[in-house]
Amino acid sequence: MIEVKNISKKFNENLANEVIALNDINLTIEQGELAILKGASGSGKSTLLSLIAALSKPTLGEVIVDGQRISKLPDNFSALFRREHIGFIFQKFNLISTLNVYENIITPLLPSEINREEIDQKAHKVMAEFSITHKKEVKVANLSGGEQQRVAICRALINSPKIILADEPTANLDAFLTDSFLDFIQQMKEEKKTIMIATHDPVFFNLDFTDREVDMRNGQII
């Protein structure tokens, strides 16, 4: 379960150019729930996702995931938490362009104590699931947008996270790949993963398998 309690996030706090990205947000997402965070650019969706993923810290309030106060974790421990519990799919995929598909996918497992054989098995399992095995030796810079997204999804799933967070996942995809992504989300939902998708793409609105749509505007839930 994800609990967001009285969260505010300010950038450039107490400076002339202070920005209030989130303002007193309260939100609870149950285990296995699929929530769509919708709103225009600058409404605070991505900031909220980054706080839930412990990628940044709030200015006020707290984020609790499965009873753990993740907003209070020191950086090294929040990285550990993220590695073990969260699969994050970024809008621009954030792949390492100089590495190949296989190397990108296994990066979350490298700091762990899992042996190389097990890492290899996990990587091949997710690559097969997303039909990218045949490109495993190809540098990601040479892949199409859809292929890059599949690599990003594989990387997010390789550590079998309970929570999947996706930030504008279809922003760089065409209609066909967007449909594929929706299939993937439906599959994850069936596997009882907790999913949060921040998007302003109407394709995610009013889907029959989503549990909730959260509307955001000017850093607040409306």
Partner 1 sequence: MSLTTPDVIALLILDILFVFFAIISFLLSIRIVKHWDLDSTSSLQYSLEKQSYLVATVIKYLFFLKLPLFIYFVFTLDLIANVIPGAMCAAGVVNATPYGFYLFVIKLINLYLFGIWLALHHYDIQHPGYPYSKLKFTFFILIFFLFMAEIILEVMMFSAIDPHVIVSCCGTLFCAIETSHVSSFLVLPDWIILSAFYGSFILLLFFYRLKNIFAFALANVLYLAAALISLIAFFSTYVYELPTHNCPFCLLQSDYYYIGYFFYSSLFTGTFFGIGSFIIHFATKEKVDSWFKLSMGFNLCYLILVSLYPALFYLKNGVWL
CB neighbourhood size of 174 (10 A): 11
Rounded least distance, CB 63 to partner 1, Å = 10
Rounded least distance, CB 60 to partner 1, Å = 5
- Looking up tokens 């929530």 gives 35
Rounded least distance, CB 145 to partner 1, Å = 37
Cβ distance to partner 1 smaller for residue 78 or 104: 78
Antiparallel, parallel or unpaired: β 163-167 and 68-69: unpaired
Binding site for partner 1 (CB under 8 A): 5-6, 8, 13, 57-62, 71-77
Rounded least distance, CB 61 to partner 1, Å = 5
Q: Which residues of 17-26 are buried (b: 16+ CB within 10 A; e: fewer)?
A: eeebbbbebe
Rounded least distance, CB 11 to partner 1, Å = 13
Rounded least distance, CB 204 to partner 1, Å = 31
Cβ distance to partner 1 smaller for residue 77 or 209: 77
DSSP assigned state of 8: E
- Residue 188, helix vs strand vs coil: helix
Nearest 5 degrees, angle CA 210-CA 41-CA 182? 30
The closest of 50, 57, 60, 65 to 23, measured between CA atoms, is 60
Cβ distance to partner 1 smaller for residue 56 or 220: 56
Strands (E) in the chain, as ranges, are 2-11, 19-29, 34-38, 60-65, 68-69, 86-89, 163-167, 194-199, 212-217, 220-221
Cβ distance to partner 1 smaller for residue 44 or 169: 44
Show Cβ contacts of residue 75 under 8 Å, excluding neighbours closer than 6 positions.
Answer: none
Cβ distance to partner 1 smaller for residue 62 or 129: 62
Q: In one letter, which amino acid is 146?
A: G
Rounded least distance, CB 185 to partner 1, Å = 31
Cβ distance to partner 1 smaller for residue 72 or 125: 72
Cβ distance to partner 1 smaller for residue 57 or 200: 57
